[in-house]
Structure 1
Amino acid sequence: MDQPAIHPLTMDGRDPAALRGDPISGDRYTSREFMQQEWDHLWTRIWHVAGRTAELEEPGDYVVHDFRHESVICIRQDDGSIKAFYNACGHRGMRLTDGSAFAEAFTCPYHGWKWGKDGMLQYAQDPHDFPQGNPCGKLKLKELRCAIWGGFVWYTMDDTAPDLLDYLAPMPELYKNYPMDTGVRVFWMKINLNTNWKFATDNFSESYHTRTAHPQVPPWIDQDVDTARHEMYPAGHGRTVQPMRPSLSDRLPDGVPHPFDHILRQWDIDPDSYPDYETKAMQGWLDLKAAKRRLWRERGYLHYEHMDDEQITDSPHTVIFPNVTISFLPDNILFFRTEPHADDPGKCTFDLWCMAFPVAGQTEVESIMAGPQPFSEADMLWRDFDNGQGVPEIEGQIVYQDMMLAEGMQRGMHSRGYGDAYLSAQETRVRYFHEVLNDYLAGRR
């Protein structure tokens, strides 16, 4: 088996010695003042995901990304590039458009000014009546920096921010073998949650909660603490890499069908051929790698072509600072994102995108977070979580279980009984996330 290469930027995500020890206080989740500091020093300086390149196939295709009180348009140009503009008319600030669609030009609904795909003003009523001269061909929508990675369209409001690939480092190098831009978004949901946006980054920065919150996971993703790799990186990103095999310390009762057996059979491996549970878990995992290496082409799993041994059987759960999490699974990419409410620090939106790689003859996929789905681009569902009642499509799924915990955590942050987190070594990345956030707020980054 190939040994995974450790990137030179990697820091040990289980070593608290890498931390300053900054406290994680409750007011970070509840204070409007803290929320404003995040806007001033974090959100206006990082790279945001506006959408996917698959949504912008033809010139004039555009997506709109609303973030707090700001709104940005990303639109495909005639030369194939993508430009980003603030969604505000250069005349008197009227918002130009909502949602995602196609436009040769944007016409302001207030005074009819018309802006081209390139942002230039094409038409203004009574152009002779402006003391400064005809604004057409002179004025342009305010443009933002825009870039692409992984099939995602990114933008930043900061003219001095590092280039996108530098900001994301080392993720582009770590995941260069995944044909991310070929993924089809088979499930797409945006959920209103009554919790601060940081709950998700905290939650996805550790797997210590998994045995308690997600008892269905250990039978097929190894949760034994010493088998996982916990990594963090200078820009604030991090990941946990776990083998997709049964945990030796988490056994299902006799007679209960084992999910790993089903996975083995999918690749012509007889789970009953192993003499005991330990051998099935450990040797079966190695045999699964070998079977995928041998059969991927004839089975139509063409996305395996450049993946290494770890990538075709394991689960790298990756946090991109500050608010994006991507699970790079062998056949799926799961995208999670939380964004703050416009004004209330106790609310956020949670985006769930389930993407699947194309496999020959496949018409339906089993999404880990959303169950069986047609293999086709999904429309967005917008839901209120409503204590789980508003999202029946994902009831019982792993991410549903996380969200069921979120509002209780938010209430706990208001309690005088909470002072600071008392963290295990495997939760080191939680405090590291908050220390990088503190660096932004203090002007150290």
Structure 2
Amino acid sequence: MTLHAPPPPLSGRDPANLRGDAITGDRYFSSEFAQREWDMLWTRIWHIAGRTAEMPEPGDYVVHNFMKESVICIRQEDGSVRAFYNSCAHRGMRMVGQSSSADMIACPYHGWRYGLDGVLVHAQDPEDFPQGNPCGKLKLRELRCDTWGGFVWYTMAEQGPSLAEYLAPMPDVYRNYPMDTAVRVAWYRIALNANWKFVTDNFSESYHTRTAHPQVPPWIDQDVDTARHEMWPSGHGRTVQPMRPSLSDRLPEHLPHPYKMILQAWGIDPDSYASYEDLAMQGWLDLKAAKRRLWKERGYVHYEHMNDEELTDSPHTVIFPNVTISFLPDNLVFFRSEPHPDDPGKCYFDLWCMAFPVEGQETVESIMAGPRPLKEATECEHRDFDAGRGIPELAGQIVYQDMELAEGMQAGLHSKGYQDAYLSAQETRVRFFHEVLNDWLEGRRP
């Protein structure tokens, strides 16, 4: 992708950037609304099928099942990736069930086999077809496919924006992160009793943090006037938060402070500051300088092109409509919600914790899933949230706390007592997300 200077964002704190479309409860449980989303949104946007790290060699493929559709993305001999519907050209049989590697794709029903390019190379009794031998003539139906950020993307739309156009300006904004080098150390897909939009709503604001995530303010400053809220007309947006202690929410002095440990890890004495304010504000500046000075000798090669903000801060980014990535100095945390194929009151929530490799480091703190070995997770953990019982190892983590709120939010949106959200300025991006979604559903977007 050709990179350019990103356009300036809209303010994500200014309600003047909104039309004022109501966020009604039926959006979260109506089957008719969900059908409009399928017709006008999901069949037109770009989806992530998997990580390029899953498919390093020709013949490696990833399978992405979305609602009742299934897509295969296959590494070609020339190194490119092509995408095909997971449906045999003979009678529609779904051919593969999970990501793997093969010289060709074989249908388990009648044995038809397709090359990596999707062309049929073998059919039983090829001379028995009145229409003529199908080999070399029939092929799997292909979709547009591309890569960015170490992710494999595809779209069901035969025409429309390229991936670069769809993602803009995110590739420019995050050009300094070597995203394709990140190692996925934790990989979950969690069934959740909430509509998929709860996840995007939740990640479009940090107003809930003080209540839902009391462990965050000691190391990420999410005070109302501190974070920077940005959004673009495409629907993408982010909240940029300094990774330093909040001056409003302070830990009791007798408790170990996580920020002090971060400073100490980079050779900074936290007891050298005259006040808590100095510890937070000057320590933050000193941490930038220490990382800038020491990154190379400590093996933090991913810091090479990062600017001062990227070295110490947390831009929490939503890529419209359903992908969120937390860009941390040493981690990428990927969140995605996808609708249940039959019940709009349910969704699947994906959590991928990724870490940038550091020389000599064998274990990493994955932020959302705790300490993990610094190696690629080999398979996805499929779980039911089940009020938290399905993922006990994530209890107390930020993402676990978010999921705890999901079912209550879904239930409340059914109430006649709810008519529209009453939003603070820092929640502007929540309504903006729904307005962009309305644009897609009403045919005002490609």
TM superposition score category, shorter chain reference: over 0.9
Matches within 5 A, 1:418-429: 418-429=418-429
Are residue 381 (structure 1) and residue 415 (structure 2) matched? Answer: no
SS in 1 for 2:225: helix
Are residue 396 (structure 1) and residue 396 (structure 2) matched? Answer: yes
Letter in 2 for 1:146: C
Question: How many Å apart are 1:225 and its aligned residue?
Answer: 1.2
Question: How many Å apart are 1:161 and its aligned residue?
Answer: 2.0
Query: d(CA) in 2 for partners of 1:191 and 1:63?
Result: 19
- Contact preservation (8 Å) 1:365, 1:375: yes
Query: d(CA) in 2 for partners of 1:57 and 1:108?
Result: 24
Query: d(CA) in 1 for partners of 2:345 and 2:102?
Result: 36
Question: How many Å apart are 1:164 and its aligned residue?
Answer: 0.5
Corresponding residue of 1:231: 230
Letter in 1 for 2:69: E
Letter in 2 for 1:243: P
Question: How many Å apart are 1:9 and its aligned residue?
Answer: 3.9
- Contact preservation (8 Å) 2:185, 2:353: yes
SS in 2 for 1:312: helix
Letter in 1 for 2:217: P
Letter in 2 for 1:385: F
> What do residues 351-391 of structure 1 show as CA deviations (whole Å, max 9, x unaligned)?
00000000010000011101110011113111000000000
Letter in 1 for 2:71: V
- Contact preservation (8 Å) 2:49, 2:73: yes
Corresponding residue of 1:264: 263
Corresponding residue of 1:439: 439
Q: TM-score, normalised by structure 2?
A: 0.98
Is 340-349 or 8-17 further displaced after alignment?
8-17
Query: d(CA) in 1 for partners of 2:14 and 2:160?
Result: 29
Corresponding residue of 1:299: 298
- Contact preservation (8 Å) 1:9, 1:234: no
SS in 2 for 1:192: strand
Letter in 2 for 1:102: S
Letter in 2 for 1:98: G
> What do residues 226-274 of structure 1 show as CA deviations (whole Å, max 9, x unaligned)?
1111000011000000000001111111211111000000000000000
Stretches of structure 1 lacking an aligned partner (at least 5 in a row) = none
Query: d(CA) in 2 for partners of 1:393 and 1:97?
Result: 31
Query: d(CA) in 1 for partners of 2:43 and 2:243?
Result: 38
Query: d(CA) in 2 for partners of 1:28 and 1:215?
Result: 30
RMSD: 0.9
- Contact preservation (8 Å) 1:220, 1:244: yes
SS in 1 for 2:310: coil
Are residue 131 (structure 1) and residue 146 (structure 2) matched? Answer: no
Matches within 5 A, 1:9-408: 9-378=8-377, 379-408=379-408
Percent of residue pairs identical: 75
Question: How many Å apart are 1:59 and its aligned residue?
Answer: 0.3
SS in 2 for 1:235: coil
Corresponding residue of 1:416: 416
- Contact preservation (8 Å) 2:314, 2:326: yes
Letter in 1 for 2:85: Y
Letter in 2 for 1:215: P
> What do residues 59-94 of structure 1 show as CA deviations (whole Å, max 9, x unaligned)?
000000000000000000011110000000000000
Aligned residues: 441
Is 298-307 or 372-381 further displaced after alignment?
372-381
The 1:360–1:41 alpha-carbon spacing in structure 2 relative to 1, beyond 3 Å, is same
Query: d(CA) in 2 for partners of 1:312 and 1:408?
Result: 37
Letter in 2 for 1:244: M
Over 4 Å off, 4+ runs: none
- Contact preservation (8 Å) 1:30, 1:196: yes
Q: TM-score, normalised by structure 1?
A: 0.98
Query: d(CA) in 1 for partners of 2:168 and 2:8?
Result: 8
The 1:97–1:6 alpha-carbon spacing in structure 2 relative to 1, beyond 3 Å, is closer
Question: How many Å apart are 1:6 and its aligned residue?
Answer: 9.1
SS in 2 for 1:226: coil
Stretches of structure 2 lacking an aligned partner (at least 5 in a row) = none
Query: d(CA) in 1 for partners of 2:444 and 2:311?
Result: 39
